[in-house]
A and B are shown apart, each in its own frame.
Chain A
Amino acid sequence: MTEPLIELEDVSYRYGDTSALEHIFLTVEKGEFWAVIGPNGSGKSTLIKLILGLIKPLSGQIRLFGRDASDFREKEKIGYVSQKSNAFNRAFPATVREVVRSGLVKKAGLFRRYPADADEKVDSALSAVGMEEFAERSIGDLSGGQQQRVFIARALISNPELLVLDEPTVGIDRKHMQSFYNMLGRLNREKGIAIVLVTHDVDTVSELVTHVACVNRSIHFHGPHEEYSRQESEIRTEWYGHAVRRVHHGSKAADA
């Protein structure tokens, strides 16, 4: 069996005195599609930043592709689409091609030019997200949904084995959201790219994902999607402050 793509072992993180995440265990294997859900301020984005190595855990261990996260250099294996991508300055002068090409920046290496086949790669990444017509357009002229597809193309151009998306649909209208998620589902099924998606729209993605992790400082549930569906109402009750205390771990459900 191959190494898991992401392994978090007893990971904790805090901002100053405020604990953000406590004792997180999470394993993401090749080809899986995870939805990470949780209320606002639950530490979902912190979890993503830890996985990407943008911040270091206070305790515990993170392994990426079997390597310790702090030694992990092959960043091009992880494609990242942030929440902030759609908050960039719309007046920024850049074509879609220039933005997507910048996904090769690490692969090409410092002081070097983009590889000769960069343009072909841009075209194929854009066609994977259905945006090949827009290559020469200015990024600021596109709609929010189109921009987010472009950012996915930027993440795809380095042929990642894992896509990490932090609430990518903020600011996209409902109509386009479904087709956006369907596109993610296709990337997952057809190209075998593992996906970790932080989202609010549990219902919209429920058909696509294979696994669900519910985060609220600690992970309250993680496991296959079918399992989650069965326990969904209980998990939600717990989030919204009722006195039920349930801790689910993996496929074993244990009532306290």
Chain B
Amino acid sequence: MITAIFDYEFLQNAFASGLIIGLVAPALGLFIVVRRLALIADALSHVALAGIAGSLFLSQNVIALAGLNPLYLGIGSSVAGSLLIDRLRELYKSYEELAIPIIMSGGIALGAIFISLAQGFSTDLVGYLFGSVSAVGREDLYTILAVAVITILFIVLTYKELFSMSFDPEYSRAQGISSRALNIWFMIVTALVVAGSMRIVGILLVSSLMTIPVAAAMQIAKGFRQAMLYAAIFGELSVLGGLVAAFYLNLAPGGTIVVISILILLLVLGGKKLVASRNTARNEEVETGEL
């Protein structure tokens, strides 16, 4: 494997992309989880499916677009979907979650139409659905890198506001923070990360890389920065392990990455329980339950 990575450009692309996504998706995912928007990542990935399928259809039928990288239309439709969700959430203020099924089914519907127009599933499409080790090109890598730079800049520059808005939205508004503009940017960046991640983990599993490492991190982190650090570590471990397993066992990396992230979550839960039961046993001797 170590030598293979020097020999094959496609492996370099896959691992570099994977390591970037393994960092960025859980870091942004922490905000998505604490703001209870996990389903939005799912909806956006399904909108990206429409863009990918549409792009594959176009490149089959329009000669001028034969070489079009589906990632671009995938990103485009995902960003458009994020803006639509934002509009719908404004429109149905008291039923904000209604936007998600509308956009999600809309995405799948368009995807289904384009897939049947393109005469069924191609291997290309399967790669987008479940991720792929071999299909990541240089262009994909650079696009993913650009997405990561935008995301990290966004998080670093608006960290204070994002934290405050996530922890206590009403307080932030009382402080005069314009949550509207920040929300729209947040949705756009989420759409970018969703679309950027799908090359590696696949459309159907993108949201898991944004949520499962975060779920594990939240179990053991005391603070927010710490949670972000743990989430990124778990994300990287999942992606690395998942890509190695996928390469050697010839499996879809989306599957292996997500299974490993779930194993990490289970380990964290089990470890936490073990520590807790030890501590209570010890504390019962020392303290008398005063906090």
Contact = CB atoms under 8 A, between A and B. Distances in A.
A88 B168 contact: yes
A187 interface: no
B291 A98 contact: no
Given A85-B168, A111-B157, A143-B291, A98 B174 contact: no
A84 B176 contact: no
B19 to A, nearest CB: 24
Is the interface on chain A under 10, 10 to 19, 20 to 34, or 35 or more residues? 35 or more
B182 to A, nearest CB: 9
Interface in B144-189: 157-158, 160-161, 163-164, 166-168, 170-177
Nearest to B173: A54
Given A102-B160, A105-B161, A108-B160, A89 B34 contact: yes
Most chain B CB neighbours (cut-off 10 Å) among A54, A98, A113, A143: A98
Interface residues of B, number: 29
Interface string B94-111: 000000000000000000
Contacts of A136: 222-223
A137 B168 CA distance: 18
Interface in A25-58: 52-54
B224 interface: yes
Interface string B126-141: 0000000000000000
Given A92-B34, A95-B224, A111 B158 contact: yes
A99 B167 contact: yes
Interface in A132-163: 136-138, 143, 154
Contacts of B164: 102, 105
Interface in A54-104: 54, 73, 75-76, 78, 80, 82, 84-85, 88-89, 91-95, 97-99, 102, 104
Given A93-B221, A93-B222, A98-B224, 9 more contacts: A89-B34, A93-B30, A93-B226, A94-B167, A102-B167, A105-B160, A106-B175, A106-B176, A111-B157
